[in-house]
Structures are given as structure tokens and as C-alpha cells.
């Protein structure tokens, strides 16, 4: 109970900021996924189908995975980066009687909340154009897990960053390639095997695969779910190591 209280105490500060800015946060986070939906779903994919599904049904789960990645990463990483390097308010957290585990989870949870907030909002819009989508408990579990994975990734990168520009560098060199190469907009069955091996090393690939299978009722890729959990554990452990080194 003490650990849960510590986690909530860390999260509560960021939730107060989100409560004041929830509308702006929602609108800005939906711009990119809506543009992807219009450009790829309606613009390029009207006459395309995959395995008996329309392209809209195929692409919406991928865009949801993409939204969970970008919003969770930015919601946790960018906020922490500003607190550490600009406001210097994170130092107060380090001086408080809170365990490092609670501190990392609490800082990551704001990214999870923002990621779920934006992903669910886009999902509601997706039902308007593809009402046959199936939302199951497994879909919800994968979506929450994806938000946790990319929130921990954002926290990890934020602890390593030496400036605000470092966060932008990671977004350009890591997140942007994952956006277009992780099977969010196309089927990985269409690419060469050598490249497919590389793409399966990206966490967004496994998130897209799991969300799409859960939504379309396809055989669920349990191995991808385990890989996604593995990424989350690695990012959490990396955050712990980076925080311990920075606080020494």
C-alpha cells in the first residue's frame, strides 16, 4: 500500500497539469492519427484489401498502436525532460522519501494516461468509419501494455538526455522510422525476409501485430505479446540504472 501511495503521489502532480490542459492535449494528439487515417485510409487505401478485410479495418489498429507510442513517449518523456532540465523540479522528487521504483512508475503513468486518453478517442472515431471493429478484453490489455512500454521508453530516454534537443533526436532517429516501418500501414508479409527480421526488433511492430489480431479476430501472436513485455522490462530496468547513475 505504501508503494501505491508513493506512485499516486508522483502521478498526482502531473494529473493536475493534465486536468487543466486536457482539451489541448487531446486535440494536439489527434492531429497526426487523423491525418494518417485520411491520407492512407481514404486517400490511398480505398481499393485495397488485406486477407479479406478492408484497408480501413486493417490500418486503424496500426494507427492506434502508433498513437499509443507517440503520445505515451511524449507524455512521459517530454514532461520529465522539462522537469529535469528546465524547471529543475525533479530534484525535489529525488530528495523525497520515495523509492526509485515508485518514482519511475509514477512518472511513466502520466504517459500511460495520456496514451490511453488519445488512443480511446481515436478508436471512437474509428468506429464511425469501420463499425465492424471488434474490441475485446485482450485488445484493452495490449493497448495498456503498449502505453506502458513506450512510457518507460520515454522515461529512459529522458534520464539519458543531456538537453531538450536530445529528445527530438530520438524522435527523429527512432520513433519516426518505427512509425512507417513497423507494419502500421502495410502488411509485413509483403517485405523480404531479411528486412522482416530487422522490423521484428522494433516494439511498435509487435504492438501493431497484437492490436490488429485482437481487433480483426485473427490468431493472436502470443510471442509478440511476450516480446512487448520484454521491451517494457528492459526499458524499466534501463530507467532504473540511468536514474541511479544520475542521482549519485
Cβ within 8 Å of residue 205, ≥6 positions away: 178, 182, 183, 188, 199, 224
Predicted structure pTM score:
0.93
pLDDT band, residue 231 (cuts 50/70/90): very high
Cβ within 8 Å of residue 108, ≥6 positions away: 76, 148, 151, 152, 154, 155, 236, 239
pLDDT band, residue 45 (cuts 50/70/90): low
What's the grid cell of residue 2? 505504501
Cell 492506434 -> residue: 64
Cell 504492438 -> residue: 207
Contact call for residues 154 and 74 (beta carbons, < 8 A) = yes
End-to-end CA distance of the chain: 28
pLDDT tens digits along 114-140: 999 999 999 999 888 887 888 899 999
Nearest CA to 133 out of 60, 231, 48 is that of: 60
Q: Coil, helix or strand for 163?
A: coil
Is the pLDDT at 73 greater than 60, yes or no? yes
What pLDDT, on the 0 to 100 scale, is given for residue 166? 93
| Portion of the chain with pLDDT greater than 70, in percent | 96
What pLDDT, on the 0 to 100 scale, is given for residue 164? 85
pLDDT tens digits along 28-44: 999 999 999 888 877 76
Is the pLDDT at 3 greater than 90, yes or no? no
**pLDDT (mean) for 185-197:** 87
What pLDDT, on the 0 to 100 scale, is given for residue 51? 64
**pLDDT (mean) for 137-157:** 97
**pLDDT (mean) for 212-222:** 92
Contact call for residues 57 and 123 (beta carbons, < 8 A) = no
Distance, in Å, from the CA atom of 18 to the CA atom of 134, rounded to the nearest integer, reads 30
Contact call for residues 82 and 158 (beta carbons, < 8 A) = no
Contact call for residues 65 and 112 (beta carbons, < 8 A) = no
Give 219's DSSP letter. Answer: P
49 forms beta bridges with: 54
Is the pLDDT at 108 greater than 60, yes or no? yes
Is the pLDDT at 248 greater than 80, yes or no? no
Amino acid at each position: 500500500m505504501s508503494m501505491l501511495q508513493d506512485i499516486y503521489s508522483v502521478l498526482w502532480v502531473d494529473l493536475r497539469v493534465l486536468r487543466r490542459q486536457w482539451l489541448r492535449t487531446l486535440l494536439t494528439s489527434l492531429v497526426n492519427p487523423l491525418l494518417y487515417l485520411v491520407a492512407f485510409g481514404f486517400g490511398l487505401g480505398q481499393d485495397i484489401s488485406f486477407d479479406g478485410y478492408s484497408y480501413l479495418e486493417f490500418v486503424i489498429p496500426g494507427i492506434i498502436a502508433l498513437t499509443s507510442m507517440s503520445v505515451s513517449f511524449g507524455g512521459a518523456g517530454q514532461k520529465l525532460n522539462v522537469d529535469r532540465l528546465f524547471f529543475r523540479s525533479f530534484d525535489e522528487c529525488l530528495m523525497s522519501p520515495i523509492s526509485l521504483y515508485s518514482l519511475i512508475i509514477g512518472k511513466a503513468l502520466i504517459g500511460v494516461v495520456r496514451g490511453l486518453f488519445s488512443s480511446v478517442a481515436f478508436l471512437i472515431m474509428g468506429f464511425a468509419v469501420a463499425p465492424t471493429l471488434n474490441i475485446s478484453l485482450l485488445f484493452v490489455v495490449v493497448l495498456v501494455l503498449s502505453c506502458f512500454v513506450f512510457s518507460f521508453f520515454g522515461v529512459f530516454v529522458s534520464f539519458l538526455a543531456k538537453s531538450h534537443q536530445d529528445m527530438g533526436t530520438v524522435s527523429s532517429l527512432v520513433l519516426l522510422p518505427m512509425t512507417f516501418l513497423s507494419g502500421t500501414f502495410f502488411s509485413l508479409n509483403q517485405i523480404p525476409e531479411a528486412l522482416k527480421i530487422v522490423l521484428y526488433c522494433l516494439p511498435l511492430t509487435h504492438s501493431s501485430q497484437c492490436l490488429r489480431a485482437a481487433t480483426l479476430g485473427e490468431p493472436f501472436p502470443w510471442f509478440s505479446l511476450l516480446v512487448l513485455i520484454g521491451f517494457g522490462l528492459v526499458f524499466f530496468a534501463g530507467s532504473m540504472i540511468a536514474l541511479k547513475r544520475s542521482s549519485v
